[in-house]
Amino acid sequence: MNNTHKDKKTSVKDRSQENVSGLSEMDDSVEVYMQLLQETSSTERSLMSVLPGLTEGCTSVDFRELLYRFKDQIAGQADRLEEMLDDLGDHDSGIACLSFELLTAQIIDILDDHRGGRVEDAQLLTWLRRAIHFQIASYRSLLLNAEKLTSEKYRRFLQLTLSEKQEFDTELELIETQNADSKIS
């Protein structure tokens, strides 16, 4: 662990022991929670960075329109997480979710291989559903452990985002099913 990250943890502990920013007495579970919150914020930024390539690469008009709508939604989700982290006084944008970064690297490779050309929608849909399921799991964990936060506002943020992710996944599943059905016909 580098010293910068260690110093950041110490400063979070110091602040939380003074009951600043809505955190109760600091313990390991709160540290883990804050790290998950930071990593989840990182997944939103990573997903936002690949959305233009996904949108450009897909062939289905319905899929493309859904991605355009999702772009605005994910920006709002990322903003909510940033607000939470800022309010909690523990915003370290340097913490990345390595598992999600590896997942993101896969779609970047697929898009690079096609260099601006069209990619099979099935590949894009499969990747995007995996990414969204990853995020759904993160938001469920955050929500289940939200009692560490004193603000109902944060729980509402998390619940809203989880609901939006689940709705988006349902729409992706519908497009994926239509895509598969058209291949069979």
CATH of the domain at 127: 1.20.1260.10
Tell me the C-alpha distance between 25 and 102, whole Å: 34
What confidence tens digit (pLDDT) does each residue in 106-148 have? Answer: 999 988 887 656 678 888 999 999 999 999 999 999 998 887 6
Domain presence at residue 78:
yes
Pair of tokens at residue 70: 């999702």
pLDDT one-digit tens code per residue, 12-41: 334 334 433 444 444 677 788 888 899 999
Whether 98 maps to a domain, the answer reads yes
Query: Are residues 42 and 97 in contact, defined by beta-carbon separation less than 8 angstroms?
Result: yes
Structural domain contains residue 17? no
Number of domains in the chain: 1
Domain membership flag for residue 147: yes
Regarding pTM above 0.75, the answer is yes
- Torsion angle (degrees, nearest 10) of CA 81, 3, 22, 95: 10
Residues 6+ apart with CB under 8 A from 124: 54, 57, 58, 63, 107, 110
pLDDT tens digits, one per residue of 62-110: 999 999 999 999 999 999 998 888 887 776 656 788 899 999 999 999 8
**23 beta partners:** 149
